[in-house]
Amino acid sequence: MIAKIEQLLQEVAALHASNAEELEALRIKYLSKKGAINDLMADFRNVPAELKKEVGMKLNELKNKAQETISALKEQFECQNNDSEGLDLTRTASAVKLGTRHPLSIVRNEIIDIFARLGFSIAEGPEIEDDWHVFSALNFAEDHPARDMQDTFFIESHPDVVLRTHTSSVQSRVMETSQPPIRIICPGRVYRNEAISYRAHCFFHQVEALYIDKNVSFTDLKQVLLLFAKEMFGADTKIRLRPSYFPFTEPSAEMDISCNICGGKGCPFCKHTGWVEILGCGMVDPNVLDSNGIDSKIYSGYALGMGVERITNLKYQVKDLRMFSENDTRFLKEFEAAY
Ligand SMILES: [Zn+2]
């Protein structure tokens, strides 16, 4: 009986089937009720008691091997069927899920596009800055209240090193190394030491623009502002300028646009005024030009800056600033169609 089992084991190890019918025949031959293995099982009762253990183990080995081999062959056939005969080559491919661009990137790119069409080129600078480029070069006096006004992250061991509070630091870096005409746009992340809430965060994004040349006037600034507002928020958008104060511009103004949500009629978003503030701007203070090696008697310029989060809120009515940095894909997916 052992010899018979050994022989079957060898047969099983070499099993081969070229189609499903052959495989079924093998299954019947070895594994069915009337198959070879069952026959041996029936004979098992005649095996002498002292050999039962050895024969029993061999018989089990044979049964397991035969089952394994036949199911392996079966799987192989199923795979082959899927690969060839079962495959419908005319079926539409499954859609590839695309990621979405972050809403802040969408809006930042849109702002950059508008200014690029006006001849502005992108300038970038470090986020970890020195005091000179963030404050001193931009006309913030040593004891200027603005230095406290913008709660700044200082590095304790190096009081001269700060996380930039505005992208204006890039403007001073460009002015100190180049001469007019200068026409740049500076997008980037900035940091302020603020408590995080739905309307304030310790980091956010700005885009600033700077234009310096001979005979640049407030009229040039106003024209660029109007064009930007119409491109960004629609052709019917109106703008208004309110006098304001920034250390690096004189005169300075803040720009409002007619509320793009209610069309200027008044709604909770614009606090029923019909206007929303979107950016700060002004003529570059002559002190700033001179501090950065540009002769203010020959050249003049304008600067403007806006928060990307603010513009994004206006375009998409995102009510909670924190949504921008929480990486919640449900929120990000809402912008799938936006670019
Ligand atoms: Zn409104």
What dotted CATH number matches 101-332?
Answer: 3.30.930.10
Q: Determine how β-strand 121-122 pairs with β-strand 182-191.
A: parallel
CA distances, 263 to each of 102, 110, 235, 327 (Å): 27, 21, 12, 32
Q: What is the DSSP string of 199-238?
A: TB-SEEEEEEEEEEETT--HHHHHHHHHHHHHHHH-TT--
C-alpha of residue 265 to centroid of ligand 1, in Å: 6
Q: Using CA atoms, how far apart are residues 300 and 234, in angstroms rounded to an integer?
A: 30
Task: Determine whether 170 is exposed, middle or buried from the number of CB atoms within 10 Å of its CB (0-12, 13-18, 19+).
Answer: buried
Strand partners, 191: 203
C-alpha of residue 198 to centroid of ligand 1, in Å: 20
CA distances, 82 to each of 36, 87, 95 (Å): 32, 6, 20
| pLDDT tens figures, 30-67 | 888 888 888 888 888 888 888 888 888 888 888 898 88
Report yes or no on whether pTM surpasses 0.85: no
C-alpha of residue 274 to centroid of ligand 1, in Å: 5
- Please report, as a single letter, which amino acid is at residue 176: E
Residue 207 neighbours by CB under 8 Å, 6+ apart: 108, 111, 112, 115, 167, 185, 186, 187, 305, 306, 308
Indicate the domain borders of the chain: 1-77, 101-332
C-alpha of residue 179 to centroid of ligand 1, in Å: 42
| pLDDT tens figures, 229-258 | 999 999 999 999 999 998 899 999 999 999
Q: Using CA atoms, how far apart are residues 159 and 310, in angstroms rounded to an integer?
A: 30
Q: Using CA atoms, how far apart are residues 185 and 23, in angstroms rounded to an integer?
A: 73
C-alpha of residue 243 to centroid of ligand 1, in Å: 22
Q: What is the mean pLDDT of the chain?
A: 87
Q: What angle do CA 242, 291, 182 make, to 5 degrees?
A: 70
Query: Buried (b) or exposed (e) across 131-164, using 16+ Cβ within 10 A?
Result: bebbbbbbbbeeeeebbeebebeeeeeeeeebbb
Considering only the C-alpha atoms of the chain, give the largest distance between any 2 of them, rounded to a whole number of Å: 119
C-alpha of residue 256 to centroid of ligand 1, in Å: 12
How many residues does this entry show for the chain?
A: 339
Q: What is the DSSP string of 61-114?
A: HHHHHHHHHHHHHHHHHHHHHHHTTT--TTSPPPPPPPP---HHHHHHHHHHHH
Q: Using CA atoms, how far apart are residues 165 and 247, in angstroms rounded to an integer?
A: 14
C-beta of residue 70 within 8 angstroms of C-beta of residue 23: yes
C-alpha of residue 237 to centroid of ligand 1, in Å: 12
250 is in an annotated binding site: yes
C-alpha of residue 276 to centroid of ligand 1, in Å: 8
pLDDT tens string, the chain, 339 residues long: the values are: 888 888 888 888 888 888 878 888 888 888 888 888 888 888 888 888 888 888 888 888 888 988 888 888 888 777 665 555 667 788 888 877 777 889 999 999 999 999 999 999 999 999 998 888 888 888 887 777 656 655 788 777 787 888 888 898 899 899 989 999 999 999 999 988 888 888 788 889 999 999 999 999 999 999 999 999 999 999 999 999 999 998 899 999 999 999 988 888 888 888 899 999 999 999 999 999 999 999 999 999 999 999 999 999 888 888 788 889 888 888 888 887 765
